[in-house]
Amino acid sequence: MADSTPQTGLRFMKMHGAGNDFVVIDSRAGGAAMTAGLARAIGDRNRGVGFDQLAEITAAEGTDFGLLFWNADGSQAGACGNATRCVADHVMRGLGLDRVTLTTARGRLLAERRADGRVWVNMGPPQLDWREVPLARAVDPLHLPLPGDPVAVGMGNPHCVRFVPDAEAVDLAALGPGYEHDPLFPERTNVEFASLTRPDRLRLRVWERGTGITLACGSGACATAVAAHLRGMTGRRVVLDLDGGVLEVDWQDDGVWLTGPVAHVFDGMLSPATLAAAP
């Protein structure tokens, strides 16, 4: 992306991975600094652009680029697997590479283009200690004292995974907020409802903290696959059917690998008036 300033507007890309949609801002060349207010303004689907998460590309010493993630309510997200794959695809195309390294709040990550054209990223090892998720007190993350006996998994952001007989029948809008804001999660949590449909295959639906219902969630898919394996439901390689498409997770010794489609939808520019109106 080219450099931009508030006087000339702010360039952005719209991308999605399995329907999980993102606005991507490249801050490496300067321009308007991302703030919580600006993220909320861009995330407004009526008055702005709209997104599940905003991914901000930054310069990072020792890796090809860095990433910061913002939710639609202006809060920051520590990880976003699908946005990471989408931005990695964009950077790899720009550099003429099939492999890049990047820096996020989780540390140094690796992304690669697979032979079939899909992009996978190593999201790092799951965080399974209650302090790392994080949880507010010492409880067993594999059996949380919450309705439905959910599992807590950290993937750079907290996840609450509840296994149900039929994920299709879950009222996400009714149940998601209660888990997201439960005091057991001091940083709130993403919420996943999953059901086993075939051996090593899950139907997954997602409520994301700071955003609400989304068509897919990469870190949520990773957390769900980890939880399913720890509960003895699946192996370490899992296919997940989400509302927006199919993701694959492979929990290897070096971390949890997430694979799926990426799509570049369009490029745009936020007007100076929109930037000036952001709180």
Residues identified as active-site: 80, 217
User: What is d(CA 174, CA 185) in angstroms, rounded to the nearest whole number?
Assistant: 18
Backbone angles phi, psi at 12, to 5 degrees: -150, 165
Q: How far is CA 171 from the centre of its chain?
A: 21
Specify the DSSP class assigned to residue 78: S
User: What is d(CA 78, CA 104) in angstroms, rounded to the nearest whole number?
Assistant: 8
Q: How far is CA 45 from the centre of its chain?
A: 19
Residues paired with residue 256 on neighbouring β-strands, in sequence order: 251
Instruction: Tell which residue, 156, 11, 34, 26, has the closest CA to residue 86.
Output: 26
Token pair for 90: 């964009």
User: What is d(CA 242, CA 224) in angstroms, rounded to the nearest whole number?
Assistant: 12
Torsion sign over Cα 239, 242, 245, 250: negative
